[in-house]
Structure 1
Amino acid sequence: MKQKRWLAFLWFAADLAILAASALFKWQRWVELPQGSYLPTLMREHWAGTPVLVTNLAGMLSFFLTSLVIYFLLPRTLRSIGGAPARRGGVIRAALLGLFTGLLVFFIVLSSAVGSGTFPFAMVVLALVLLASVVGMVALELRIGAWLAALAGWPESSPAIHLLMAVLVLYPFTILPAIGGLFMVIYVLFGLGTVVLARVNVLYPWNHELPHSNEKQLEKELTE
């Protein structure tokens, strides 16, 4: 157990080092993008004079609060979704499903650009897929946070603590130069794949609520 606690401590220390390096070297997501790009220009004007550490901490706080609100709305559903990749081969299947679903949505949006009549429909589909991705990401945060809490010796801590621990661990990787954007894309696709996998693995119609996960079994798996 002490070795596991040291592992959790080293993980958090690495994240703090990333945050410190971002403040020291002034890493920004948008600064190096082309000057003619409209959205980065707005971001650059908005962030002018704002310390990098402040923007990163604000982003981390908004990430955590968004996750907390989604958990408040869908607590049991998130537990069911988060347990899907834990099954045998679940990680690979979730990754592949996320990739294939993302490509499918991309082709839907691309084909709808040809015909103006289907473009609003494609935008609705895109919005729903993005919402599903966010739900899947929060479900993964809950699972990762519970695993970290078990490593640290706090298996009985609240879900809010689990979400906070997951955000503290995951968010710093999104601010790494070049790699951060790739990490975020992979995380979004994996969250989407997790939601699809959770639906594929249940013998219910799609309009049926997901069955509630066995919380005692989940806690047992996390503490093993």
Structure 2
Amino acid sequence: MRLLMIEDNESVCQMIEMFFMKENIEATFIHDGKRGYETFLREDFDMIIIDLMLPGMDGMTICKKIRETSDVPIIILTAKESESDQVLGLEIGADDYVTKPFSPLTLMARIKAVARRGRTASHSNDAGDSILQTTYFKISKTTREIFYEGKLLEALTPKEFDLLYFLMQHPRQVFSREQLLERVWGYQFYGDERTVDVHIKRLRQKIATENHPFLHTIWGVGYKFDETE
């Protein structure tokens, strides 16, 4: 696994690097936003970790520019009190966020979850395509493509695809935010329910129609996928 971490605090990078070495993660650390984005353009990475407050180019701009050309998983690092930044980061394409100050173990849990999903997708490819067909949608887990009434849905992030695919696998079944974090994101609940809420909001903007919202909120419980309502 090759990972790019764009973080201007060198002490944080040195601390995280020790954990990466233990986990056999090949990491590149860049301390300037502009140089970090240029490094992303030159090389291939399996995951990007971006601090929002960076010299040269801020993390929001980097995240947005990456999403214009790539669906590589992105984790953003934010200040604990910057809730608006966390939500905005998710809305422009980040897959998750970790708040500062953070535990290296928490960050590693996020990274490992991404790695597990990658291995699962690889095994699925080896076994042949996995097609899920509903009344309105056709979704291929191998090619990671979703068609709505025969038209390809573009601009879905990896996490949006995973979330929609999971909910489509369980039509009309209601899942809490905690359950979705565990089943889709791959880690136990850490108090960041907003991650699920923002991804549901983004999916609604991309797939909902006037007659069919598809993704329904069950107040006090969670969310479900239902084409019949």
Q: Which has the higher contact order (CA 8 A, sep 6+)?
A: 1
Q: Which structure: greater strand fraction?
A: 2
- State if a TM-score over 0.5 links the two structures: no
Give the alignment's TM-score, normalised by structure 1.
0.27
Q: Which structure: greater helix fraction?
A: 1
Give the alignment's TM-score, normalised by structure 2.
0.27
